[in-house]
Amino acid sequence: MAFTVIIPARFESSRLPGKPLMDIHGKPMIQWTWLQAKKSGADRIIIATENAEVARVCEGFGAEVCLTGNHHTSGTERIAEVIDLAHIQGDDIIVNVQGDEPMLPPELIHQVADGLSDHPEISMATLCETIDDMETVFNPHAVKVCRDVANRAINFSRAPLPWSRDTFVEDVKTLPENWAYKRHIGLYAYRAGFVKQYVSWPECDLEHVEKLEQLRVLWHGEKILVLDALCDAGVGVDTQADLERVRVLLSNV
């Protein structure tokens, strides 16, 4: 199975400006992410950035880089431009690996690509993991997902999804016994032609409310395969505190 990894690396992060070039034990964060992607079995890895300095640094450690426009509102839009610029064919499988995932296991990159390859009737695949604490269930930064019997997404939400009426009316500190909450892992595989279709759709109302771009897919009646991750997804970097935590975790690597 052939697939291409595209790593969006936006320099102007609202919460942590300059994030791709933040140092982690002598390497910029984007290099750590790229090194993990290299272990995934991908046929091609492209770093997509709007910033010339990020591009220069990435080329310096040997990465293929695509310099994109600075008008994109999401990583998916940036990937759509790369698909055009790199002449990627419509049936090719693309895996979107966020540049702020320096600990992302390569097994998960391969898993999501393999899952999409095994389901030709589906245009998009992603992963999830079980939530085992109430703090995460009620944390709006942890996106919850519900699936049908075939592991296709029914809905995504920042709210506790579903709401356990019988449990939460009594005690919101206890996980319900009859439901295993799932946290969405923001790792996507899609066919290149579908990415171009996706960015042609306007933002939908539900996406606007939740600020979750994958809801646009469900809004238009498309299916998203959601597989249980084979292993822990590691720690992504959204804040300075996340960065410090990753530095500690990678100190012995």
Task: Give tens-digit pLDDT for 200-225.
Answer: 999 999 999 999 999 999 999 999 99
Task: Give tens-digit pLDDT for 154-175.
Answer: 999 999 999 888 888 776 778 8
CA–centroid distance for 182 within its chain? 15
Map out the domains of the chain as residue ranges: 4-130+183-249
Share of the chain above pLDDT 70, in %: 99
Q: Looking at residue 82, what is its pLDDT? A: 93
Average pLDDT over all residues of the chain: 92
Strand pairing class (124-130; 182-191)? antiparallel
Query: Diameter of the chain by CA atoms?
Result: 58
- Between residues 1 and 192, the one the model is more confident about: 192
Query: Token pair for residue 200?
Result: 């042609």
Q: Looking at residue 171, what is its pLDDT? A: 67
Q: Cis link prior to 202 (omega < 30° from 0)?
A: no
Query: Rounded to the nearest 10 degrees, how much is the dihedral formed by the CA atoms of 69, 92, 200, 187?
Result: -70
Query: Token pair for residue 112?
Result: 């999501």
Is 4-130+183-249 CATH 1.10.10.10? no
Task: Give tens-digit pLDDT for 60-89.
Answer: 999 999 999 778 777 788 899 999 999 999
Q: Which residue has the tokens 């269930």?
A: 137
Task: Give tens-digit pLDDT for 175-188.
Answer: 888 889 999 999 99
